[in-house]
Amino acid sequence: MSQKDDPEMDRIAEIARSGSGRSPLYRWLKSRHDAFLELVSEERPDWKRLAQGFQEIGVLSPDGNPLTPEAVRHTWWRVRRDVAAAREKKQAKAKPAVSVVTPAEPPPSAEPPVSDAGDKLSRLKGKINERSGR
Amino acid sequence: MTKAAEQASAAAPVLAVGLGRGFGGKSTGLSELVWRARNQGRQVIVADGDPRSKTLASMFPDATFPATEELPDVKEWLSQVLNRMLAEQRSAVLDLGGGDRVLMEYGRDLELVEFCAETGIEPLALYFLGPEEEDLKHVLSIWEAGYFRPKRCMLVLNEGVIREGKTMAGAFAQTLNHPGLNAMMEAGAVPVMMKRLTCMDLVRKSGIGFYGAAAGGKGVNGKPLDPTYAFMTKKWLEHLRNERAEHGGEEWLP
């Protein structure tokens, strides 16, 4: 049986991840990072509608309240940042001690690392755009 | 005193210095810091070094200010503020007016950030930015001069000073795309968006500060703010707290 078709494993993985102290939305977004990234790259995300969508599928804030658009956007940024950092770390580990003539191609889904300043500025711009109805 | 206040008072005193051109929201932002500390049971020194407007001194009767606006008097007074912080182990909220002239002159006498490191004071720079190009230029001139560049630095973008009818994105577009702003963030500055508070004037007139007004306290006229305004103030404070907390800035405050 492949891992993909293993509902028992899925259930156990869900339990294991729920003890991470992360919010349900964070876990949801992290487990679907690549697909969600593709989605929001295609269309400019409407955070308000996405927050409503999450409520409809039962993804709520840690205290059981509906998510705000701002919370969804912030959580997505945190997930992007964490996934990018984890992938960068993984790539660094995978690098051989001695450089080889032909470096291995990075995994196709790897994102460029998000610099802290770039991250702060993007988030600020996003918030200001949202505040301005853009 | 609450347990939280006891813990906080045991922490290092914070020297929070507000910098930026006039009408950028500096006095508003600094007064919020004073009221925030007092609301949490901590007494902070209020130091108004902006002799032209004296806004902080007009809000807080216990504020200290220099004898005159002459530079030697301002420098002498600034030394007294620092000495008092050390003697009383208390944080201070300091309005330095434009800031550039005083910091440049004072920097020649005393390396302020190094002095703070040696004496156990945590310096915090708060740059208040309006949307004008000159606002950012002024901030960058102080920051690039390097007379006071502590590790902890906040850039407060104030929606409250935007002309009616303009959006924040439009008004701040030039600022947000300026490489100087990015350079400050690269160096660790934390951006904070300060929303417009529609009832700001009413809160000021109440004389009891943001936290008192939001909690429904009676103002100097014997009446609390109307519930809608009290709620607006409460939400404004929540937003400001969240903005600062996003990058850990809440922990830096006096």
State the pLDDT at residue B48: 94
Q: Which residue of A has its CA nearest to B184?
A: A117
The helix or strand, by DSSP H or E, that contains position A56, with its residue range, turns out to be helix A47-56
CATH T-level assignment (fold) for domain B3-196: Rossmann fold (3.40.50)
Whether residue A124 and residue B157 make contact (CB cut-off 8 A), yes or no, is yes
CA–CA separation, A6 vs A22, rounded Å? 24
Is 70 exceeded by the pLDDT of residue B242? yes
Q: Least CB-CB distance to B193: which of A116, A118, A127?
A: A127
Q: Least CB-CB distance to A117: which of B176, B185, B193?
A: B185
CA–CA separation, B137 vs B154, rounded Å? 16
CA–CA separation, B15 vs B244, rounded Å? 17
**A-chain residues near B162 (CB < 8 A):** none
Whether residue B246 and residue A128 make contact (CB cut-off 8 A), yes or no, is no
CA–CA separation, A4 vs B85, rounded Å? 62
State the pLDDT at residue A4: 56
Quote the minimal CA–CA distance from A132 to chain B in Å: 5
B104 against A15, higher pLDDT: B104
B173 against A86, higher pLDDT: B173
State the pLDDT at residue B9: 44
Domain limits, chain B = 3-196, 200-245
Q: Does B238 touch chain A (CB under 8 A)?
A: no
B127, B136, B162, B182: best to mutate for the A interface, most A CBs within 10 A: B182
With a CB cutoff of 8 Å and minimum separation 6, the contacts of B15 are B82, B85, B91, B92, B94, B116, B121, B122, B123, B124
Model confidence pLDDT, tens digit, residues B221-238: 999 999 999 999 999 999
Q: Which residue of B has its CA nearest to A125?
A: B176
**A-chain residues near B170 (CB < 8 A):** 132
The answer to whether the CB of B16 falls within 8 A of the CB of B253 is: yes
On whether ipTM exceeds 0.85, the answer is no
Is 70 exceeded by the pLDDT of residue B129? yes
Model confidence pLDDT, tens digit, residues A84-114: 878 777 777 665 444 444 434 444 433 333 4
Q: What is the mean pLDDT of chain A?
A: 75
CA–CA separation, A129 vs A46, rounded Å? 12
CA–CA separation, B173 vs B21, rounded Å? 19
Edge to edge, the sheet with strand B92-95 lists B45-48, B92-95, B14-19, B122-129, B152-158, B190-194
State the pLDDT at residue B61: 92
CA–CA separation, B153 vs A119, rounded Å? 17
Is 60 exceeded by the pLDDT of residue B8? no
Please compute the mean of the pLDDT values over residues A67-77 and round it to a whole number.
84
Is 70 exceeded by the pLDDT of residue A33? yes
Is 80 exceeded by the pLDDT of residue B101? no
**pLDDT exceeding 90 applies to what percent of chain A?**
1
B234 against A20, higher pLDDT: B234
Model confidence pLDDT, tens digit, residues B27-73: 999 999 999 999 999 999 999 998 778 889 999 999 999 998 888 88
B230 against A116, higher pLDDT: B230
State the pLDDT at residue A20: 65
Q: Least CB-CB distance to B182: which of A121, A129, A131?
A: A121
pTM of the predicted protein model: 0.68
**A-chain residues near B190 (CB < 8 A):** 120
Q: Least CB-CB distance to B170: which of A74, A123, A132?
A: A132
Is 60 exceeded by the pLDDT of residue A126? yes
